[in-house]
Every structure is written in C-alpha cells, then in structure tokens.
Structure 1
Amino acid sequence: MSAAIKETHFQFPGQIGFYKGKVRDVYIFEDKLAVVASDRISAFDVVLPRAIPHKGQVLNQIAAKFLQATAAIVPNWVTSVPHPQVTVGKKCEPFKVEMVIRGYLAGHAAREYKAGKRTLCGVALPDGLRENDKLPQPIITPTTKASEGHDEDISKEEILAKGIVSPEDYAVLEKYTHALFEKGSQMALEKGLILVDTKYEFGKYGDEILLIDEIHTPDSSRYFYAEGYEALQEAGLPQKQLSKEFVRQWLIQNGFQGKEGQSVPNMPDDFVNQISERYIELYEKITGDKFVKSANNDLEKSIETAILNQL
C-alpha cells in the first residue's frame, strides 16, 4: 500500500500557531497560512482511524484547479500551491458558518426529507420529491462551523438574528455561493457530471470577503454521473455517484453514524484502497487530467521543504 500522511508536526521560522482540522494541518504565520492537505478522512464529523493514500493530493489539486477557475467570479485566499499537498494563502478571519448549497435532494437533505421534514434550514421543500430528484432551484442550507463536534443546520434568519454574520456580509455570501455553484455545475457538466451539492467557506481579509478552504472536491461536494441519471431516477434506483457518500454508507452498514456510544468499524486494506481509487477516479473525471501520484520517497520532507521555500 502507498504511503499516506496521517498528520504533520513541523515547526517553521515565524510560525505563530498551528491548527489541526479534520483533514488539514494549518500552519499559521503573521499574515499567511500554509495548509497541508493530509490523507485523513472524516465522515459524520468524525476523523476515521485509517489515512487514505493520495487523498490529500487529490483534494489539494482539485481545489487549486477550481479556485483558479473561479477567481474572476469570487476572489479567494490562495497565493501559491508549492506542493501537490500544500496551499499557501492569505490569513483571513473566517465566518462562523458554512454555506451549503443543494441542487438535488440527496445525502443529509434526503435523510431529513424521508424523516418527514419539509423545511430545511428555514427553506420550504415541496411534497412529492424522491431521493436524488432535482430541486425546483438550488437552495442554500447553511450550517454552523463547529470548532469541535458536529456542525449543525441553521437558517439564514437565525444567523442574522444571532449576529453571526451581518446582513450586508450575508448578502455577499449568498451571491457568491450561487455564482460559484453555477460555475461549478457548468464545469461538471462539461465532464459528464452533475454537481449535486457542495459547501463553501468564506473569510474576511481586511474589509474584503474571500473564498477560503477547498471547493468542489469529493470531501466538500457530491457528484452524480450525468449519463443515466434520468433512467435511474425513473426506475427508482440509486444514482452512480462520485463522492465520499459510499464511505458513509459503508459505515452505516457497519453500525456507525457518529452517534454517542458507537465505535468506528475497522476499515480493511482492500476498502482503504477502494476509497483511494475512487478519489483518483473523481480527480481524473472532474479535471480531465491524468492523476500523477506523488513520489513516495519521504513525502513528509518534501512537504516541509515546499513550505520553507514560501517563507
């Protein structure tokens, strides 16, 4: 099995902080961040015990491609991508919400709908929808951004009432979210995919609102294959999709949904390899580029050197 980076523990000149997210190791400097996309994988807001070879490279390179492709629509935080698993950019003050946007009734939204809910994050949904149906129009269903534990659904009205985001800034976040989803959907269709749902995160750099973190990756997004979508819906069959939903489904089948008292099931080598192959498949499908695996010889050292060269 190929090497995988579970975590990093560097110390850099001028470093003033460090933050370990579910997937990313963030090295904090006075005016910039150096973000390492590790090979950790999370589901149900829990980091799973096994790291997935090449996953961090897939995420970082897909995000880099889409951030570059959308920079003319929405300004973003990136200044350089010095390594397949590293992005360096402006240090922003993040908004405490994630802007989730959905074009189809899938995943969490489908599970809520199936449970009888017809309002999601303050947005009314019509009766008679089936799982994976296209929604009348894309809807924004924000979540809180938890520093630890589970992100929670929240409505626009609650966000404004609690002063989490000002009305003026929230209007910009909504506008940017719709514009990014439209561009991402268009780019996906060009590659024979449907962008089902995704999330965006934003922050402020001075007075400017910037897109931060990753976009349109299999960790932050769900994709269906466009070919066969209608036929599968007509037949009431599951959609062929490229996302990490299959990891969630495997965990559910093995008795884990991130709930109290549940233990993460052991992921065998063949399943870890399968996840890695699915991530690479999505990379090649969504970018149209052949995936070139990073050399295994001292991956950690090459990451450290890449960051040092940016300081």
Structure 2
Amino acid sequence: MAQCVRSTLNPSRTPQSFIRTVSAKTRAFASVSFLRTLPEFKKYPVMSCQGKAQSQQEQIPPPQLSLDDLVTSNRKGEVLGTIKDSLSNCLSETNLLETVPGLKSRIKGKVRDIYDAGDYLVLVTTDRLSAFDRNLASIPFKGQVLNETSLWWFNNTQHITPNAVVSSPDRNVVIAKKCSVFPIEFVVRGYVTGSTDTSLWTVYKKGVRNYCGNVLSDGLVKNQKLPANILTPTTKAEDHDVPITPNEIVEGGFMTQAEFDEASMKALSLFEFGQRVAKEHGLILVDTKYEFGRSSDGSILLIDEIHTPDSSRYWLAGSYEERFQKGLEPENVDKEFIRLWFKENCNPYEDEVLPAAPAELVTELAWRYIFLYETITGSRIDILPAQRYQQEPIHDRISRNTSQALLSLRRQL
C-alpha cells in the first residue's frame, strides 16, 4: 500500500526483509469481522461470493454506464463544490513522527507514508498523484478514496487470500502487520493497452512478442481483449519498475518457486474476481497490480492496495465494444486521462519541471475516483466539507485518531 524500504536488484536467495505492508462496499450484506473497532472506523459490508445470493446476482444484467453518468450525474453536482473548495486542503505531506507517540521512523512512498510503530506499521494514504515514477499533483479526497476502496476489496477477497490489515482508525490511515515484502509487483493484464513505457501496448507496438514470459501473437490492436489474462511481473527498483520473467524472479533469488507459484495463483484469482465484480457494476477491470509479503507465521499476505483507481485501469463496459470496433479509445474511469494530458504537454520522464495540472483536470479526477468507489461499493463516500478542516486540520485529525488506535492496540498486547 505504499513504498517501503527497498533493496537493490541484487537480492539474497531468501525473501527480502523489508518492513512493509498494506492498506486494505456492492450492496449491503453481512458485516466485517477482521477489522478491529477503533475510533472513527466505519465497517464495510461483505459481498456474497457463493451460493444462492451469488446466483441471483449473476442473473441481474449489469448496468449500462455511459460517459454521461460521469459528466451529468446528479451526484457529481452534489460533490463538485466540496471538491473545488478542498483544492487547497489536500494531504500532500505528513510528519506523524512529531505528533504521534511511539513512532520510530518514516518512509515516504509515491502516494503513502509508512511509519514504523513497533509491532505494526502505520500507512497514511496521501492525496499525491503518482505516474511516470513521479508525483504529478495533489487530488482532493484521493487518499481517502484509495484507502476506503482498498479496505472494501481487502475485506471482500479474504476467500482468496489473507491480507495484512489490522485496522483503519482514520479515513486516510491503515494499521497493518509487519511482513517481509517480496520486491515484485504482480501486474495482471486482460487487454492490450497503456501509455507508459512498461505498458503492454507500448512494448507490443515496438515489436515485442515475448513479454515477461508471455508469448503474444501477431495482429493484436490497441485496447483488444487478450485471449486470457496474463501476468507481467516487475521488480521494484528505486526509480522505476523493471519487467522481469518468472524464471528470472526465481533464479535471481527474489522468490522461491513455491512462493512465486502461490503468489501468482492468488494474483490471477484476485484479478478474475475483480473483473466479475466490475462487470456486475457496468465496468471493465482492464489491468492492475498486486504485492505480497510473508508474515511472521510464514503465510503469504496480500499487501499494499487492491483494485484502486491508482493501481488499476477501469473502462466503461457498455460502450467498450462499439468504440473498439470504431478504433476509438475506451471511456475510462481512472487516471489515464491525466497521464495522457502530461504526455501531450511535456516529457514526464525527462523534463525536470512539469507543468501544473489544470484545476479542472484535478477536479475531474477527484470526481472520477469518488464515482468509481461509489459505483463498485454501492455506498456513498463521506467526504468532509472544507469548513471542517478549519476546525481540525486533516493532519491533526489523522494524528489524533492514529494515536488513539495505537494506544488501544498496545493495551491488547
């Protein structure tokens, strides 16, 4: 769920002993069991995944979302003013070392700040927007949306894999178990698309036909659905992600064969489940990434984030086929449009100073993140009006809630 202590690409033959962990709403079902009750924590409903409830859900045709739902939604009108009023109240930086007792150190990631709390990690999801291996802007409520999106998915994927979440005492915070993190991102793709240097379409159009151990046939076109989902892992280098094959992962000592096999199976199962859920809500989960770590008891845990608009690409399902046949770009509900803006207006990989993202794009992206969360979970996210930040700044609120949560956890030890 964040950037943690990273090693070089010359690992030992055992999992890297980084300290790192995670972050972790469809219609109302049962309640959460794995999250402890802590201050200001909202419990999330569990989605039924089997049996009668599931078969009934499968008989319901998915909603036909359109771009109009994004542009003219009544809900957008409700939240747009709050988003605009909050442009100057984004959580861009944190320093809980000065405000929360007992924290030992901080590691600043691209989006999340990770604090060592002894037996636990505290992960604060900020409003920073990261792409092209750098920060591009700060987006109102982005951290909250990412945090609560991951929590919902973590809760609803426990039938596939355990995760490292202990609790969420604040809308921007997760407290997680410590574990040894595998320095591999498990990127799963269902379509030939993307605009970054490591995206499948970018390398495919350059003539690559064997990518991360996957043989790709000739004749594929941009945004085409793959015959089957594929895994394209990357290493986690300090400055950028590096594609790697399964054999190289094992031979390089990043993971054992058994560890890689288990994590790969989990990643592909998570993606298939995510695609089913997205389809039920009129969306396509195009691609995403997962990260895993080994806990103190030896089990492999899902960490970091899951199926958020930061880690995943989402398209509107209702218009995909027609637009694909016409050679048009799919209607997306993620940060791809702002990535494309930067590529059109600068060289985001090489330019030392980037232009500021226009306020209308920042506002639109904040809305899209909220739209995606509410579409998938079936619940309205609780965003605070700007006046509340005048009463209690966001950093003060996070510090207060985190301090109370850690004190409660320490009393339970």
Range class of TM-score, shorter chain: over 0.9
Answering whether residue 399 of structure 2 is matched by residue 308 of structure 1, we say: no
1:45 corresponds, among 130, 133, 150, to 133
1:295 Cα deviation from its structure 2 partner? 4.5
1:69 corresponds, among 136, 156, 163, to 156
Query: Is the partner of 1:41 in helix, strand or coil?
Result: strand
Residue 203 of structure 1 corresponds to: 293
Residue 247 of structure 2 corresponds to: 157
Does structure 1 retain, via aligned residues, the 8 Å contact 2:121–2:175?
A: yes
Does structure 2 retain, via aligned residues, the 8 Å contact 1:23–1:41?
A: yes
Does structure 2 retain, via aligned residues, the 8 Å contact 1:256–1:265?
A: no
Residue 9 of structure 2 corresponds to: none
Residue 95 of structure 2 corresponds to: 9
1:94 corresponds, among 181, 204, 209, to 181
Residue 218 of structure 2 corresponds to: 127
User: Structure 1 CA distance, aligned partners of 2:287 and 2:358?
Assistant: 29
1:188 corresponds, among 278, 291, 300, to 278
Residue 294 of structure 1 corresponds to: 384
1:131 Cα deviation from its structure 2 partner? 0.8
User: Structure 2 CA distance, aligned partners of 1:233 and 1:72?
Assistant: 34
User: Structure 1 CA distance, aligned partners of 2:375 and 2:353?
Assistant: 34
1:232-287 Cα offsets, whole Å, 9 max, x none, are: 1111111011111111100100022313x453122222222122122222222222
1:139 corresponds, among 230, 233, 251, to 230
1:153 Cα deviation from its structure 2 partner? 0.8
TM (norm. structure 1) is 0.96
Query: Is the partner of 2:128 in helix, strand or coil?
Result: coil
Answering whether residue 377 of structure 2 is matched by residue 277 of structure 1, we say: no
Residue 143 of structure 2 corresponds to: 56
Larger Cα Rg: Structure 1 or Structure 2? 2
Does structure 2 retain, via aligned residues, the 8 Å contact 1:23–1:37?
A: yes
User: Structure 2 CA distance, aligned partners of 1:128 and 1:62?
Assistant: 36
User: Structure 1 CA distance, aligned partners of 2:303 and 2:271?
Assistant: 15
Deviating 4+ runs (over 4 angstroms): none
Aligned Cα root-mean-square deviation (Å): 1.2
Higher RCO structure (Cα 8 Å, ≥6 apart): 2
Alignment-mate amino acid for residue 56 of structure 1? G
Does structure 2 retain, via aligned residues, the 8 Å contact 1:101–1:138?
A: yes
Does structure 2 retain, via aligned residues, the 8 Å contact 1:53–1:276?
A: yes
User: Structure 1 CA distance, aligned partners of 2:352 and 2:105?
Assistant: 33
1:72 Cα deviation from its structure 2 partner? 2.0
1:143-182 Cα offsets, whole Å, 9 max, x none, are: 1112x21111111111111111111110111111011111
TM (norm. structure 2) is 0.73
Alignment-mate amino acid for residue 206 of structure 2? A
Aligned residues: 308
Answering whether residue 334 of structure 2 is matched by residue 224 of structure 1, we say: no
User: Structure 2 CA distance, aligned partners of 1:205 and 1:17?
Assistant: 20
% same residue: 44
2:358 corresponds, among 252, 258, 268, to 268
User: Structure 2 CA distance, aligned partners of 1:96 and 1:200?
Assistant: 11
Query: Is the partner of 2:95 in helix, strand or coil?
Result: coil
Q: 1:33 to 1:295 in 2, by over 3 A?
A: farther
1:26 corresponds, among 110, 114, 134, to 114
1:226 Cα deviation from its structure 2 partner? 0.9
Query: Is the partner of 1:82 in helix, strand or coil?
Result: strand
- The structure with the greater share of residues assigned to strand is 1
Structure 1: gaps of 5 or more residues: none
1:127 Cα deviation from its structure 2 partner? 1.0
Query: Is the partner of 1:309 in helix, strand or coil?
Result: helix
Does structure 2 retain, via aligned residues, the 8 Å contact 1:284–1:290?
A: yes
1:81 corresponds, among 162, 168, 175, to 168
Query: Is the partner of 1:189 in helix, strand or coil?
Result: helix
